Amino acid sequence: MPPLTRYQQLIQGWLDGTAPPAPITELIGFRFTAFENGEIRAELEAGQRHHNPMGTVHGGVLCDLADAAMGTAFAATLEEGESFATVSLAASYLRAVREGLLSATARVVHRGRNVGHVECEIVDAKGRQVARFASACTVIRP
């Protein structure tokens, strides 16, 4: 098995608590819970602090959760010296949520030399789809 890349080591540190979380995770209140077989999972205990004026979880919060999961999944594919940027992000909101545990699972569906495509699904505690996301990422090299 090849050694872990810098990003893979960082992800492992988040999971085992040896690396401080990224600031956005603390701001929104989510955590990464698993990374295996090219998929990353994150969870958010949604509540009133995540609400829009209608009393449901704001779509931007769901988008932040998905974007972080997708970006982390893509970062795990990078080689030393590479970075990336998200160039597009599409969201489909399927179910309103007021509170409860939300789980996001992201996976890279295509990784080319310069561009990759990533998908994410967010489900509620009952396993019902809440939202689906897709993004395209471009690899940045020095």
Sign of CA dihedral 123, 7, 81, 39: negative
Q: Is residue 1 part of a domain?
A: no
DSSP label at 56? S
- 141 three-state secondary structure: coil
Q: Provide the CATH number for the domain around residue 101.
A: 3.10.129.10
The whole-model pTM stands at 0.94
Beta-bridged to residue 133, according to DSSP, are 91, 120
Domain residue limits at 21: 6-140
**Residuewise pLDDT in 10s, the chain (142 residues):** 678 888 999 999 999 999 999 999 999 999 999 998 789 999 999 999 999 999 999 999 999 999 999 999 999 999 999 999 999 999 999 999 999 999 999 999 999 999 999 999 999 999 999 999 999 999 999 8
Q: How many domains does the chain have?
A: 1
